[in-house]
């Protein structure tokens, strides 16, 4: 590719700029104007190219220069990503703040990875010069953070004979750490980092089925609508329903190795929340600070819309890069609707024909292609890694039939539908158990049965059946009043209420309950359902429902989740036995009364 070709600006229409630059390619990066705004060619016609710019174009004039940079939008992949915050085109925001102050100046050019920082490189002792290596061969490792061992891999597309690997020592990311001679005899220099074009999925050896659930510590997710590592899921819901909290909870408490959190067209303060709290919070699995395994991509709603479109691809590419090292990565995109709106805005400015609600015809295929980058794969070095992708969806007016929600629903495997009614009643997480679904229950069940309890799937089904019964009965009550219900039916309502308050509701703000281990999840579910079962048995014996509903233990069932943490599951079980005895007491008492 020829570098630094010079052209001229012709027309500025917001972020869309037309330039005259013969020979430029579609997708190529361009610098626009004296100030040097970066953009990307999105269409070509004759000598002219249409460029979408990642920054505001105020002050740019027709006649100013436009320079082709020779490469497509790419990210830098190497040590130094973890713990960082980057904008939608991977510019390091903390460094930009040092340079340009509190507001983001335009035309700034700061590389994503720190050039000055030295990394302790440990070569792979199993490698010998002369050996054949290919994409994914591990050249060595760098301890990136206390939790993340960064494997330095031969990048995709590179194969040949290893000429040499650098000895152990301190290197900056640009130093040479290996030479590889390809089949044509050309020697290539490899550094601690390489670049990868974000719109091209990184290759892998083979795609595998997901096998184990992503444990998020959230009961309604893990127990009722589980996600698998390598799965794709969506969290749709109206504003304020709890999409961001669900995503942040997953970022905090899931058992992933790496978390990529993409704030795509959302609030600045939400990213600050992560940025300020994660360095203090401990990962429940490693005991280390959460920020050490987390990367933030921040393109907030007030930042340029074109970079918002790019931010999702930047996040995905970094996710795939860590997947290739054999890690389980979770990527959270909040919100994919804002990403879709960025597509819509650009397509509108290009005068493309809108099909539904102003969205271009390619909305569904682009969405599908994004989600398709999630998955569990066999990596080139025969390891296994995964990218789980969870996107928030923000339907206008909370209407799930709108284009982005409906197309997303066709693509994903888990659907956590948030309900305004539940949120208004402060039932959090407001994941609606009727309209949500997971295609992974069966696979997850195998894990639960082996690791936690063999009755998991059965108990889960019972709880959902009870909730369905509750919905039916509530309809009846609303028509004819509660007097029409039998004692057994009233106990069903009480049982469902216990499931809702004691199991489903889980406050992210509760210090104890914010994370719930699988063992505790099952213990609470089992406790609640066995109370329901025991009570039903008594009612069948003729015990009046009022007597049961007044048992003081029921209040404690509702509070149990916050009274005992995940290490105190035995206390929950002890309490379950206590309740059992109380029921037994009532039974004996009642049997006495009836025989008297």
Ligand X SMILES: Nc1ncnc2c1ncn2[C@@H]1O[C@H](COP(=O)(O)OP(=O)(O)OP(=O)(O)O)[C@@H](O)[C@H]1O
**Is 148 an interacting residue with respect to ligand X (CB under 6 A)?**
no
Q: Are 392 and 334 in contact (CB under 8 A)?
A: yes
N-to-C CA span, the chain? 98
CA-closest candidate to residue 359, choices 311, 302, 293, 406: 406
- C-alpha dist (Å) from residue 137 to 78, 99, 278, 377: 15, 38, 33, 16
The window from 434-442, 479-487, 514-522, 537-545 that contacts other proteins (CB under 8 A) reads: 479-487
Which CB sits closer to other proteins, 142 or 346?
346
Torsion of CA 250, 254, 257, 260, to 10 degrees: 0
Positive or negative CA dihedral for 427, 433, 436, 439? Answer: positive
Positive or negative CA dihedral for 449, 450, 453, 454? Answer: positive
* β-bridge pairing 176-181 and 414-415: unpaired
**Is 522 an interacting residue with respect to ligand X (CB under 6 A)?**
no
Edge-to-edge strands of the sheet including 169-171? 149-153, 138-143, 119-123, 169-171
Cis peptide before 574, with omega less than 30 degrees from 0?
Answer: no
Q: Are 516 and 503 in contact (CB under 8 A)?
A: no
From residue 220 to residue 249, what is the string marking binding to ligand X with x (rule CB under 6 A)? Answer: -----------------x-xxxxxxx----
Which CB sits closer to other proteins, 275 or 367?
275
**Is 101 an interacting residue with respect to other proteins (CB under 8 A)?**
yes
| Distance of alpha carbon 233 from the chain centroid | 8
**Is 398 an interacting residue with respect to other proteins (CB under 8 A)?**
yes
Instruction: Please give the Cα distance from 422 to 220 (Å, whole number).
Output: 13
Q: Which does 60 bind (CB under 5 to 8 A by kind): other proteins, Mg ion, ligand X, none?
A: other proteins
**Is 301 an interacting residue with respect to other proteins (CB under 8 A)?**
yes
The window from 211-219, 244-252, 372-380, 481-489 that contacts Mg ion (CB under 5 A) reads: 244-252
**Is 292 an interacting residue with respect to other proteins (CB under 8 A)?**
no
Chosen residue from 36, 42, 71, 100 binding other proteins by CB under 8 A: 100
Residues of this chain, 349-408, that bind ligand X according to CB under 6 A: 394
Q: How many CB atoms lie within 10 A of CB 337?
A: 25
Which CB sits closer to other proteins, 10 or 200?
10
Residues of this chain, 360-389, that bind other proteins according to CB under 8 A: none
Alpha helical stretches, state H, 300-426: 305-324, 336-349, 363-372, 403-411, 420-424
Q: Are 328 and 258 in contact (CB under 8 A)?
A: yes
Positive or negative CA dihedral for 432, 436, 442, 445? Answer: negative
Q: Which does 429 bind (CB under 5 to 8 A by kind): other proteins, Mg ion, ligand X, none?
A: ligand X
**Is 85 an interacting residue with respect to other proteins (CB under 8 A)?**
yes
**Is 185 an interacting residue with respect to other proteins (CB under 8 A)?**
no
Which CB sits closer to ligand X, 241 or 256?
241
Chosen residue from 22, 23, 59, 167 binding other proteins by CB under 8 A: 59
Chosen residue from 149, 477, 536, 582 binding other proteins by CB under 8 A: 477
Residues 6+ apart with CB under 8 A from 588: none
**Is 294 an interacting residue with respect to Mg ion (CB under 5 A)?**
no
**Is 336 an interacting residue with respect to Mg ion (CB under 5 A)?**
no
Chosen residue from 103, 185, 280, 410 binding other proteins by CB under 8 A: 103
Q: Which does 275 bind (CB under 5 to 8 A by kind): other proteins, Mg ion, ligand X, none?
A: other proteins
Q: Which does 237 bind (CB under 5 to 8 A by kind): ligand X, Mg ion, other proteins, none?
A: ligand X
Which CB sits closer to other proteins, 36 or 398?
398
The window from 13-21, 435-443, 449-457, 587-595 that contacts other proteins (CB under 8 A) reads: 13-21
Please tell me the count of residues contacting other proteins according to CB under 8 A.
80
Token pair 């509702």: residue: 558
Give me 562's structure tokens. Answer: 């916050």
Q: Are 33 and 51 in contact (CB under 8 A)?
A: no
Which CB sits closer to ligand X, 178 or 274?
274
Angle at 501 between CA 472 and CA 448, to 5 degrees: 90
**Is 249 an interacting residue with respect to Mg ion (CB under 5 A)?**
no
Residue least distant from Mg ion (Cβ): 244
Chosen residue from 149, 191, 211, 272 binding other proteins by CB under 8 A: 272
The window from 97-105, 251-259, 282-290, 566-574 that contacts other proteins (CB under 8 A) reads: 97-105
Q: Are 12 and 58 in contact (CB under 8 A)?
A: no
**Is 244 an interacting residue with respect to Mg ion (CB under 5 A)?**
yes
Instruction: Please give the Cα distance from 378 to 205 (Å, whole number).
Output: 6
For the bound state, the minimum distance from the C-beta of residue 400 to Mg ion, rounded and expressed in Å, comes to 16
**Is 358 an interacting residue with respect to other proteins (CB under 8 A)?**
yes
Residues recorded for the chain: 596
The binding site for ligand X (CB under 6 A) comprises: 237, 239-245, 266, 394, 428-429, 507-509
């Amino acid at each position: 590719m020829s570098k630094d070709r010079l052209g001229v600006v012709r027309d500025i229409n917001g972020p869309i700029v037309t330039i005259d630059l013969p020979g430029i390619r579609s997708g190529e990066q361009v610098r626009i104007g004296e100030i040097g705004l970066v953009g990307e060619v999105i269409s070509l016609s004759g000598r002219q190219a249409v460029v979408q710019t990642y920054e505001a174009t105020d002050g740019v004039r027709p006649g100013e220069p436009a320079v082709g940079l020779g490469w497509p939008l790419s990210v830098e992949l190497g040590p130094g990503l973890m713990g960082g915050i980057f904008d939608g085109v991977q510019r390091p925001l903390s460094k930009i703040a040092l340079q340009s102050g509190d507001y983001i100046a335009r035309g700034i050019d700061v590389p994503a990875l720190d050039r000055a920082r030295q990394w302790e490189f440990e070569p792979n002792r199993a490698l010998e010069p002369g050996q054949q290596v290919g994409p994914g061969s591990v050249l060595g490792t760098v301890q990136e953070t206390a939790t993340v061992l960064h494997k330095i891999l031969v990048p995709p597309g590179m194969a040949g004979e290893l000429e040499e690997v650098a000895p152990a020592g301190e290197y900056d990311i640009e130093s040479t750490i290996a030479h590889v001679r390809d089949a044509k005899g050309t020697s290539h220099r490899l550094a601690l980092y390489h670049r990868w074009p974000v719109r091209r999925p990184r290759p892998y050896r083979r795609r595998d089925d997901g096998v184990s659930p992503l444990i998020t510590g959230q009961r309604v997710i893990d127990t009722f609508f589980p996600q698998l590592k390598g799965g794709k899921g969506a969290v749709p819901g109206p504003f304020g329903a709890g999409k961001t909290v669900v995503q942040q909870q997953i970022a905090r408490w899931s058992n992933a190795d790496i978390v990529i959190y993409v704030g795509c067209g959302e609030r600045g303060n939400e990213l600050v929340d992560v940025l300020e709290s994660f360095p203090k919070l401990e990962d429940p699995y490693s005991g280390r600070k959460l920020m050490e395994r987390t990367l933030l991509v921040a393109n907030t709603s007030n930042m340029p819309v074109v970079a918002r479109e790019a931010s999702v691809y930047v996040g995905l590419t970094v996710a795939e890069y860590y997947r290739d090292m054999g890690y389980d990565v979770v990527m959270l995109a909040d919100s994919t609707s804002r990403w879709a709106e960025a597509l819509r805005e650009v397509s509108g400015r290009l005068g493309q024909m809108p099909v539904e609600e102003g969205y271009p015809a390619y909305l569904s295929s682009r969405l599908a292609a994004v989600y398709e980058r999630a998955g569990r794969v066999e990596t080139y070095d025969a390891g296994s890694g995964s990218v789980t992708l969870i996107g928030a969806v923000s339907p206008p007016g909370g209407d799930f039939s709108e284009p982005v929600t409906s197309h997303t629903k066709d693509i994903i495997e888990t659907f956590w539908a948030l309900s305004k009614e539940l949120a208004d009643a402060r039932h959090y997480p407001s994941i609606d158990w009727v309209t949500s679904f997971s295609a992974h229950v069966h696979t997850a069940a195998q894990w639960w049965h082996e690791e936690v309890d063999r009755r998991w799937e059965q108990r889960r089904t019972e709880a959902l059946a009870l909730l369905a019964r509750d919905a039916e009965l509530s309809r009846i009550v609303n028509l004819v009043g509660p007097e029409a219900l039998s004692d057994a039916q009233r106990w069903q309502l009480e049982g469902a209420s216990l499931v809702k308050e004691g199991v489903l509701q889980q406050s992210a703000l509760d210090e104890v309950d914010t994370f719930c281990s699988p063992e505790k999840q099952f213990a609470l579910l089992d406790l609640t359902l066995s109370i329901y079962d025991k009570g039903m048995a008594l009612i069948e014996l003729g015990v009046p429902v009022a007597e049961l509903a007044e048992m003081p233990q029921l209040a404690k069932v509702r509070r149990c989740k916050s009274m005992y943490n995940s290490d105190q599951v035995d206390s929950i079980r002890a309490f379950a036995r206590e309740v059992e005895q109380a029921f037994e007491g009532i039974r004996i008492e009642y049997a006495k009364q009836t025989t008297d």
